[in-house]
Amino acid sequence: MKKMRYLVFLLSFMCLNSLDNGLGITPQMGWNTWNKFYCNINETLIHDSIDALVNSGLVDAGYNYINLDDCWQKYRDADGYILPDNDTFPHGIEPLVEYTHSKGLLFGLYSSAGNYTCQGRPGSLDYEDKDAEVYAKWNVDYLKYDNCYNRGISSHIRYPAMRDSLNKTNHPIFYSLCQWGQEQVATWAKNVGNSWRTTGDIEDSWSSMIGIIDQNDQWYEYAGPGGWNDPDMLEVGNGHMTLTEYKTHFGLWAISKAPLIIGCDITKMTDEIKDILTNPEVIAINQDKLGEQGHKIKKTEIKYPPGVEPKLANAQLLVDDCNGHITQKWVMGINNTIRNNDENFCIDIPNCAEEDTIITTFGCHFIPNDFKCQENANQQWVYTEDKKIQSLMHFADNITRCLRIRNKPIPYVETHFCNESHSWEYNEAEKTFKAEGKCLSSMVDSIETWAGNLSDNTYAVLLLNRASVSSKIDFSLKDLRLNTSSKFQLRDLWLKKDIGIYDNTYSVYLDSHDSQLFKVILDFNEEEKEDDIFVQIIIMISLAVVIVISIGISVYMYIDNRKKNQGNNEEKDKLIDNDNN
C-alpha cells in the first residue's frame, strides 16, 4: 500500500512538473516580426502579414503561426495585468487574434523571463500567472519567452514557473523558450517547453548562420516529438545572403528539425524566396513524423594546392591532421586572447556559455566596452604549466574550464573540467597547438555530410560546401554506417526528382556555400525500375506509331479528297462544254 501511495505521488509530481499541452509533435512553422521589423510593428503590418501568409501559398506549405515579437506591450494596469501598446495596437490584441483564427491560423506573443523584455517593455518575471491568464483569455496559441533582465535567477527556476502558469490555464499554448542556450538547456528543457533556443541571436550573414547551426548541432540527441532544438528564426529573404546561401540555410534548418519560423517581409517576397520557403519535399524532411534531428556525420577540410590559403572567418574549432594552413596557426595575443594567425579572429566561448560547450573562432572584441560578456572573459585564456588551455571565464559551478577534444562523431573542441581535459603542445615556430597527434584547427573551409533517419526507412542527407571555392563531395553508404555493397537510389529534394541508382559512391561538385539535399532510398526494386523504363519505352514507341499512322491516314485522305475534287471539276467542265455545244 505504501508503495502504491508513493507511485501515485511520484506520478502526480511528474505531471505537475512537466509540460502538458500536446503540442510540438513536429517542429513549429510560421512567421515572426523580429528579424525584419524589430520594434517597428503595428496592427496594420500584422493584418497585412496574415493576408500575405494565406495568399502567398505559405499556409498551404504548412506555415500556420503568426507571431508578434517584442514591443507589442507597453505597461500594466493597476491590477498588474499586461496591456498592449495603444499607439501601435489601438484596437488591442484580441481583434488580431480573432482575425488570425478566422483565416485558420494560430497567433503568438512574446515576453521575457525577467523584469523587462529585451527592448525595455514589461517582462513576466513574478507576473507569470497574470500573463498566462491574459494569454488564455485572448486565445493566444504561442508564447516566445526571452531571457533579458532576469536578475541573475537560474533558468531552472524562471522557465518552469511560466510553464506551470500556462498549464494552469487549461488553454494549450505552444511554449518556446528563448533562453540563448545557457545552462545546457537542451538537456533538461523537454519537460519545460516545446522548443528551446540553443544559441544567441542569428544575423543575416553566412558566418552567423553557419556558426549558429554548428552550435545547435551538438545537442541533436535531445530533440524529438514534443520538444525541439531551436537555432533561431530564418533569415531567408532578408537580403544579405545569396540565393545559394539561403537555400543552404533552409536545407540545414530542415534536416536539423529546427523550427521553420520565417523572418522576412512576406508581403514583398520574390518568387525565388517563395520557392525556397515552400518546397514541399524539403519541408517534408523537417516535418517527418519520426522526429529524429539530422546532424553532422562527416567533415573534411578542403585540401588547397601549395601556396593557396583559405580565408579566415568565424568557424567551429576542431582538430585535424596537421597541414601548416593558416587555420592551424595560433598566436598568444593581447589581453590573454589566442588569435588565429595573429588576425582578428579569437578563440571564443559562444554567448558566454557558463557550462561545457563547443568552441568557435569569432571576431576579437578585446576593445574595452566593445562587447560586454564577463568583461570579454569569454575570449581570454592562459596556457598553463601543465599545458592546458584554460579559460578565464567564471562558470556557473565555480569550476574552471579548459579545452578538450570530443569525438561525437566529428572530433571537435569544447570546454570541460581542466582535470579531464587535454594537454596541448604549443610549437612557437609553427604556431600550432597539438593534442593526440592532431592540430587545433578553425575549420573555415570544409566539406560536410549531414544525415538523419526518416520514418519511411529512408535517409535524409545534405552535402555542404563551406569553402570559398567549388569543391567535390563524395557520398557512400559507409558514411551512414550501412552495408556498402548495397545499391542506393537518390532523390534530389530541391529538384523534386530521382537522380539515379548508384553502386558505391555518389560524387558531386558544389559551388561555394552550396548544398545538395537528397533522400537515400535502399528499399527499391531495381527490376521493377527497369520494367518501368521498358514499359515507358514501349508506350513511347506505340504513341509514335499511332502518330505516324494518324499522319499517314490524314495525308491519304487529303490526297484522296484532292483527287475526288479534281474529278468532280473535270465532270463539271465536260457538262459545261456539252451545254455550250
Q: 417 or 529: whose pLDDT is higher? A: 417
Rounded to the nearest 5 degrees, what angle is found at the Cα of 393, between the Cα atoms of 389 and 396? 120
pLDDT given for residue 312 in this prediction: 73
Residue 515, C-alpha cell as written in the block: 548544398
Please state, rounded to an integer, the average pLDDT across all residues of the chain: 88
pLDDT given for residue 171 in this prediction: 97
Q: What is the mean pLDDT of residues 271-280?
A: 98
Q: 17 or 319: whose pLDDT is higher? A: 319
pLDDT given for residue 304 in this prediction: 66
Q: Has residue 575 got a pLDDT over 60?
A: no
**39 close to 51: Cβ distance less than 8 angstroms:** no
pLDDT confidence bin for 536, thresholds 50/70/90: low
Tens-digit pLDDT profile for residues 367-413: 444 445 677 888 999 999 999 999 999 887 889 999 999 876 678 89
Q: Has residue 270 got a pLDDT over 80?
A: yes
pLDDT given for residue 533 in this prediction: 55
**295 close to 217: Cβ distance less than 8 angstroms:** yes
pLDDT given for residue 3 in this prediction: 41
Q: Which residues does residue 498 pair with via DSSP β-bridges, in sequence order?
A: 491
Q: Has residue 211 got a pLDDT over 70?
A: yes
Tens-digit pLDDT profile for residues 119-148: 999 999 999 999 999 999 999 999 999 999
pLDDT given for residue 14 in this prediction: 41
Q: Has residue 341 got a pLDDT over 90?
A: no
Residue 506, C-alpha cell as written in the block: 555518389
Cis bond before residue 409 (omega within 30° of 0): yes
Lowest average pLDDT, out of 25-34, 286-295, 314-323, 488-497, goes to 314-323
Q: How many residues does the chain have?
A: 581
Query: Catalytic amino acids?
Result: 146, 201
**343 close to 359: Cβ distance less than 8 angstroms:** no
**338 close to 332: Cβ distance less than 8 angstroms:** yes
pLDDT confidence bin for 314, thresholds 50/70/90: confident
pLDDT given for residue 397 in this prediction: 81
Q: What radius of gyration do the chain's Cα atoms show? A: 31
Rounded Cα–Cα distance for residues 476 and 481 (Å): 9
Q: Has residue 12 got a pLDDT over 50?
A: no
Tens-digit pLDDT profile for residues 436-483: 999 999 877 789 999 999 999 999 999 999 988 899 999 999 999 987
Centre a 10 Å sphere on the Cβ of residue 204 and count the other Cβ atoms it contains: 21
Lowest average pLDDT, out of 171-180, 414-423, 449-458, goes to 414-423
Residue 159, C-alpha cell as written in the block: 522557465
Q: Has residue 296 got a pLDDT over 90?
A: yes
Residue 557 burial (C-beta neighbours within 10 Å; 0-12, 13-18, 19+): exposed
pLDDT given for residue 305 in this prediction: 65
pLDDT given for residue 506 in this prediction: 96
pLDDT given for residue 5 in this prediction: 40
Rounded Cα–Cα distance for residues 214 and 236 (Å): 18
pLDDT given for residue 8 in this prediction: 36
